[in-house]
Amino acid sequence: MSHVLIDEAQVHRIARLARLDLHEGEAGQLSVQLSHIVEYFQQLNALPTAQVEPLAHPLPIINVLRDDQPADSLPVASVLANAPQHVSGFFRVPRVLDQAGGA
């Protein structure tokens, strides 16, 4: 069995970064599973990569320029059609500013 590379506190930290909510007992289970997988990933450290440039994209890509031609956007109604809640042409979310109007 793997040693604990990702303990439960770490699981909670990652979940917060990832905007995920853990249910009862999930942190313990994820700690075991993620540690097992991360331990496997550690074989990367054995590779001689110090002098190697990272490769983020498989093909050489260059910036693409084109004429700035106006074109129709999607109609607002069709974009909002999938929104869980919308009002007056905007997506509706719970209050993000406090009552006094400050941030």
Partner 1 sequence: MWSSARQIAADVRARRASAVDICREALRRINVADPPLHAFLETTESHALARAAAVDAAVAAGQPVGPLAGVPMALKDNICTRFSRTTAGSKILAQHRSPFDATVVQRIEAAGAVVVGKTNLDEFAMGSSTENSAFGPTRNPWDLERVPGGSSGGSAAAVAAGIVPLALGSDTGGSIRQPASFTGVVGLKPTYGRVSRYGLIAYGSSLDQIGPLATSVADAALLLSVIAGHDRHDSTSVDGEPIALTADTPPDVAGLRIGLPRQYFGDGLDEEVRAAVMAAVELLSQLGAQVVEVDLPHSQQNIAVYYVIAMAEASSNLARYDGVHYGHRSAAAADIFELYARSRSEALGAEVKRRIMLGTFALSSGYYDAYYLTALKARRLIQRDFTAALARCDLIACPAAPTPAFRFGEKSDDPLAMYLADVYTIAANLAGIPGLVAPCGFSRQGLPIGLQLLAAPFAENTLLRVMRAYEANTDWWARRPPHGVA
Q: Which residues bind partner 1 (CB under 8 A)?
A: 6, 10-11, 14-15, 17-23, 30, 33-34, 36-38, 40-41, 43-45, 47, 49, 52-59, 61, 64, 66, 74, 78-79, 81-85, 91, 93-96
d(CA 48, CA 37): 21
User: Which one, 9 or 91, has the nearer CB to partner 1?
Assistant: 91
d(CA 8, CA 27): 6
Least spacing, CB of residue 98 vs partner 1, in Å: 11
Least spacing, CB of residue 64 vs partner 1, in Å: 5
Least spacing, CB of residue 92 vs partner 1, in Å: 9
**How far lies 66's CA from each of 26, 30, 69, 70, 74, in Å?**
49, 47, 9, 12, 21
d(CA 58, CA 37): 25
